[in-house]
Amino acid sequence: MTAPSRTVAPAGRPAIRLTVVPTPQPPLEPRPALRLVDLGRPIPSAVPRPGPRPRLLSTATPRDEFGPVLSSRAELPLATEAARRLVTTALEALVGRRPLAQVRPLTTAGVYAALSAGRRPRWCAEGNAPLVIGRVRVCEPVDGVAEISAVAHRGGRAHAVAARLEGIDGHWRCTALQIG
């Protein structure tokens, strides 16, 4: 279905014909995604879903049956506090001011294995200058995910820290950590 067209003719120029064509629009009601079983995990999307997630009908919790469950933003503590705690704990452990085991509850198994592999940035291993952590910035691009960045100062030099936190079982866990 097209809109009626009209003719526009500026002075001294040939007539220009303007035709308005309607843009195809998505359906008014969202189509439900085809899912065989709802495990209580959130559907990844750029827009947070309203309302609570559906739960399993059995008496066992999803964690008991299927392992870790992703958490929505409403089920998690403040991301800024978790981000500051992670950056401080991880850097102090790498510098040698606290045991590396204190980082374990804040990270996934893969990140903890990478930290405990023994390879530390040279600026962490050398010298005894104080470690100063600047402002920690947090961005939440998707429900249950936080991306953080910070700058650590030691010995007159600045070093970048970036991490990705995901809500797992009601707690923020670091799934990726980059220290420059």
Is 86 a member of any domain? Answer: yes
Give CA–CA dist 176/38, Å, rounded: 27
Would you tell me how many other CB atoms lie within 10 Å of the CB of residue 43? 10
Is residue 108 a part of any domain in this protein? yes
pLDDT of residue 56: 47
For residue 53, being part of any structural domain is answered with no
Lowest-pLDDT choice from 21-25, 88-92, 94-98, 157-161: 21-25
CATH code of 99's domain: 3.10.450.100
State residue 84's pLDDT score: 94
| CA–CA gap between residue 1 and residue 29 (Å, rounded) | 22
How many percent of the chain have pLDDT more than 90?
Answer: 32
The answer to whether residue 130 sits within a structural domain is: yes
pLDDT at 11: 67
- Name, of 5-19, 40-54, 62-76, 162-176, the range with top average pLDDT: 162-176
Number of structural domains (the chain) is: 1
Q: Indicate whether 21 pLDDT > 70.
A: no
pTM: 0.61
What residues have CB less than 8 Å from 7, skipping those under 6 apart? 15, 16, 17, 18
pLDDT for residue 120: 76
pLDDT at residue 58 greater than cutoff 50: no
Residue 96 forms part of a structural domain: yes
Residue 139: domain span? 74-179
Q: Is residue 87 part of a domain?
A: yes
118 within a domain of the structure (yes/no): yes
pLDDT at 175: 92
11 domain-assigned = no
N-term to C-term CA, the chain: 58
